[in-house]
Amino acid sequence: MNDDVEQRVARLKVIERIAEKNNFRADVMAALEVVERHQFIAEYQQAKAYRDKPLPIDAGQTISQITTVAAQTNLLNLQKGQKVLEIGTGSGYQTAILLEMGFQVYSMERIEKLHLLAKENLNKTGYDKAVLIYGDGFEGLPQYAPYDGILIACAAPGIPDKLLEQLAIGGRMVVPVGVYEQKMTVIERISADDYHSSFEGYYHFVPMLKGKESDIQY
Ligand code: SAH
């Protein structure tokens, strides 16, 4: 078997296991099947591409566990064509999943090296339609707001105020909140001033940090 066939077999296997344990939307599962996670991780990690585990990418950050990416995308609960803001582009894998599902995607990353890595990964896999921004996710991107969905892929110390303001009425924010372990929280904007929140289980994420960081220190 060549590499790609082997990776495809491994991908289908892990998806089958995820499907046994979870009840995610069909379009989320379909995107997991199409997007090649191994294209978003380093050469030395290729053998681990389809283990359902987070893996180091660069700059001390990680690509999320496959089930976590699926769970957050599932909680967004959006339809094709809707607008999503992602905080924490990382490798670009989650961005590719969102694009594969037909969303309009804006994604922010505070580490320049990773912003560039994601751009490269997304271009080489043909997912070149996202607006990728090197910037601080705490600020969001008010110029493109409101968003039908905001997906935060890092551990937020609290609910970021400015992002709440950028959520469309009827829109949902999916955010892991906490320091050592995070409560996956879904916040739905009911009206201009009313939000409803629900708790969706515990997770572990790398921290959401303030400000931009250039790659000079790495
Ligand atoms: N979705 C990514 C997961 C990346 S891990 C993937 O599929 O690979 C979380 C990322 O959030 C890290 O790259 C980290 O640098 C980034 N991050 C942390 N705080 C941030 C902030 N304030 N703004 C933007 N990105 C942030």
Separation of CA 159 and ligand 1 centre (Å): 16
H or E element, residue 14: helix 3-21
List residues bridging with 131 in a β-sheet: 106
111 neighbors 61 (Cβ within 8 angstroms): yes
What ligand 1 atom has the least distance to the C-alpha of 86? 1
> What is the tens place of the pLDDT at every residue in 143-182?
999 999 999 999 999 999 999 999 999 999 999 999 999 9
Ligand 1 residue neighbourhood (C-beta within 6 Å):
61-64, 87-88, 90-91, 93-94, 108-111, 114, 136-138, 153-154, 206, 208-209
Q: Average pLDDT of 29-40? A: 98
Task: For the chain, give the percent of residues with pLDDT over 90.
Answer: 95
Which is the closest atom of ligand 1 to the Cα of 213? Answer: 15
Q: Greatest CA span in the chain, whole angstroms?
A: 57
Q: Distance (Å, rounded) from C-alpha 24 to C-alpha 14?
A: 14
pLDDT at 1 over 60: no
Task: Quote the ligand 1 centre to 1 CA distance (angstroms).
Answer: 35
Instruction: Provide the 3-class DSSP secondary structure of residue 99.
Output: helix
Q: How does pLDDT run across 84-121, given as a tens digit for each residue?
A: 999 999 999 999 999 999 999 999 999 999 999 999 99
* C-alpha of residue 137 to centroid of ligand 1, in Å: 9
pLDDT tens column, 194-218: 999 999 999 999 999 999 987 455 4
Given the structure tokens 């809707």, which residue do they identify?
Answer: 82
CA separation for the pair 36, 25 (Å, rounded):
19
Query: Whole-prediction pTM value?
Result: 0.96
Query: Which residues carry out catalysis?
Result: 64
pLDDT for residue 4: 84
Predicted confidence (pLDDT) per residue in 45-72, tens digit: 999 999 999 999 999 999 999 999 999 9
CA distance 112 to 122: 15
